[in-house]
A and B are shown apart, each in its own frame.
Chain A
Amino acid sequence: MTQDQLETQTEVPVEQSAADVSALELEQQQSSADAPQDVSTDSQAESSEGTPKKRAKKKARKLTEADMQPPKPSFWPLALALAIVIMMAGSAFNAIFFAIGGVLVLVCVVGWALERRR
């Protein structure tokens, strides 16, 4: 994805709820207020040395709303870790636990892979 595409990508994902959007906007406003009012580096960047290509690469870009979406929470990492513990403990102590753990690992891997992230 090019820089321009990133900058123009402001559409909210289809499944994003209205509540999420408003919460995001609110948080964005708060962080604007919290942000330190320091001198921006943009003006310095313009007067800097280097090729135009390099300067363009360095230019700051505003985050898109898609960027501001934090990674979604997921239960699968916890579940997969637990399943692996059961399977590995079973490998030394009890074959039934090993089998149960193995099945759980498979379920968790599939669940992890199929989980929607956006």
Chain B
Amino acid sequence: MATRTIGDSATTVVRRRSLSESYLGLWLTTTDHKLIGLMYIVTGFFFFLVGGMEALLIRTQLAQPNGKVLSPEEYNAVFTMHGVTMIFLFVIPVLSGFGNYVVPLMIGARDMAFPRMNAFGYWLVLFGGVFLQASFLFNAAPDGGWFQYAPLSELSCGANAVSCAPGMNPDFWVLGTMLLGISSIAGSLNFVVTILKLRAPGMSINRMPLFTWMMLVTSFLLLFALPSLTVASFLLLLDRHLGMHFYQWGFGGDPLLWQHLFWSFGHPEVYILILPAFGIISEVLPVFSRKPIFGYTFIAWSGVAIGFLSFTVWAHHMFAVGLPSIAQVFFATSTTLIAIPTAVKIFNWLATVFGGKISFKVPMLFALGFVAMFLIGGLNGAALAVVPFDYQITDTYFVVAHIHYVLFGGSVMGIFAGIYYWFPKFTGKILGERLGQWQFWLLMIGMNLTFFPMHILGLLGMARRIYTYPADQGWNELNAMASVGAFIIGIGVMVFMYNVIASLKNGQKAGSDPWDAFTLEWDTTSPPKKYNFLELPVVRSRRPFYDKKYPEKADWKQVTH
């Protein structure tokens, strides 16, 4: 007879493995700001590849006159989705990813203020992105430009009900951007509360790292700019599905209302895309110049000034619609004014580098590349503020050149500076230096070859968004040059992807502080523990980690701030 040991069954407790303990479950249910930050960055880069392929399709179509690679309808969808993808699904998510990962570490916090809301924001970005891209499967990709002008995006226009956009294409755009807008609001609120409430002891607002400053300003911009886009989109939905006529003159609506609502979001949006990159550059330049940032206060508050001014310039996108003279004067002036705080930043960055012990590591190369390229984008932007000049080149390739010098030369260069700078913190490995240099030069050559000729194309009268062009316009060589440049950028991106994979597999180990950096994110392991810091750091200056490493030359012994 078998005997039964009493107590065996009573003492053995079989614990059911919860979903969050599996590998997949960990990622699906995480509320850790570091994992969410990584998810944002990886998702953003996935969409960067998607948007990049769309760009290559555009440039292949335009490489030669009378191109036949895409049909006119396909071309409309591809250039629209290129803009939407790059702006809403690449730049914003990746910069949010940096913010998510780095800001709590920089300010000495354990996590974001609202961890679940943080995760919620990420999932909306992912689903919103998939939703937008899925429109291709339904043959209904948005095709009215990234700005989706109403009344052209209405079902029908005018008293005679001319068919405008009867398909689902604008609906995908409206709903997709609404989803991404909810995500941005959730993320921004989280950043504001985290930065204002969870800073380490001693980290006053004037000691915050500049990247954190710029994330704070960006978050406020999003909170105040997004409602106008949401309202515009909601009104368009009502027009399209409930027969209302907010944007239709023939029924008492206003055809310019969309443009006003859209651009009062759209121009702050440009600064939303560039301010965090300013922050990254303000972190990288001092570390690789071995100097504290020059003019900290000016850089921080010029960011705030840019934020305020960005709400006063929207109608410079609309000079050609026939605004009253007084409005043209106002918006031309405010647009010119915004160049002042931007120039303040550039001069301070140059002063930071000047006389420094410069180390030309890859993050520094991208940071310097950023300053040079963004300067070009800023200068041709100032030219666009001049109303008579704007009349001449509005809706031409000059504007395409401008926006790409700002967003590629600025945001993308800034993003790569950030990736090379913080990759060791994210993964514990350093990205390959040699491949990084190759990538930098490929991107620099590629982008100038692609976008600089577009200035001339614009001045020669090549309208943006055209599907093809005849051979006798004098645009052939410049377009061919731009297309070759685009493929060089593509090669640069492939080099980057190879570098990431190779470095993750066999990369040099980073240690906790590979750059001898200044800020708190480097004062913990790489990658950091779940709770970030074993001991909450104490901040006594703007370079707390530098103070800790070099107590004899600590900043707080030299200056008072």
- The interface bits of chain B over 192-221 (1 if a CB of A lies within 8 angstroms of the residue's CB, else 0) are 000000000110000000000000000000
A63 to B117, CA, bound (A): 24
Cβ–Cβ contact B538 & A45, under 8 A: yes
Tell me whether B175 and A91 are in contact (CB under 8 A). yes
Q: Are A71 and B124 in contact (CB under 8 A)?
A: no
B536→A44 contact, CB < 8 A: no
**Which B residues form the contact surface with A (CB < 8 A)?**
15, 19-20, 25-26, 28-32, 110-111, 115-120, 122-124, 126-128, 131, 168, 171, 174-175, 178-179, 182, 201-202, 237, 240-241, 512-513, 523, 525, 529-531, 533-540, 547-549, 551, 554, 556
22 A–B contacts, CB within 8 A, in A order: A34-B525, A35-B534, A38-B548, A39-B548, A41-B547, A41-B551, A44-B556, A48-B540, A59-B201, A59-B538, A60-B538, A63-B533, A76-B116, A77-B118, A77-B119, A77-B122, A77-B123, A81-B123, A84-B179, A84-B182, A88-B179, A91-B175
Interchain nearest-CB distance for B226 vs A (Å): 15
* B168-A77 in contact (CB<8A): no
A31 touches B31 (CB 8 A): no
Q: Is A73's CB under 8 angstroms from B29's CB?
A: yes
Provide the A71-110 mask, 1 if CB < 8 A to any CB of B, else 0: 1111111101110110011011100000000000000000
Residues of A in contact (CB 8 Å), total 46
Q: Kindly state the separation between the CA atoms of A92 and B531 in the bound complex, as whole angstroms.
A: 43
User: DSSP majority for the A interface?
Assistant: helix
CA distance A44 to B538 in the complex (A): 11
Least Cβ distance of A93 to chain B in Å? 7
Cβ of A32 within 8 Å of any chain B Cβ, yes or no, is yes
Chain B residues in 8 Å Cβ range of A25:
none
A91–B171 CA distance with the chains assembled, in angstroms: 10
A57 to B203, CA, bound (A): 11
**Given A38-B548, A84-B179, A74-B531 contact (CB < 8 Å):** no
Asked if A62 CB lies within 8 Å of chain B CBs, one says yes
Distance between Cα atoms of A34 and B537 in the complex (Å): 16
Once A78-B123, A88-B179 are accepted as A-B contacts, the answer to whether A67 and B168 lie under 8 Å apart by CB is: no
CB distance from B556 to the nearest CB of A (A): 7
Closest to A39 in B: B551
Whole-angstrom distance between the Cβ of B117 and the nearest chain A Cβ: 7
Q: Does A61 contact B (CB under 8 A)?
A: yes
Distance between Cα atoms of A73 and B29 in the complex (Å):
5
B525 touches A75 (CB 8 A): no
Contact of B529 among A19, A27, A84, A92 (CB under 8 A): A27
- Complex contacts, B549 vs chain A, CB 8 Å: 38-39
Asked if A36 lies at the interface with its beta carbon under 8 angstroms from chain B, I say yes
Give chain A residues whose Cβ lies under 8 Å from the Cβ of B168: 92-93
Complex formed: what's the CA distance from A45 to B535 in Å? 15
Are A74's CB and B29's CB within 8 A? Answer: yes
In the complex, the chain A residue whose C-beta lies closest to that of B526 is: A34
On whether A77 and B182 interact (CB within 8 A), knowing A61-B536, A62-B535, the answer reads no
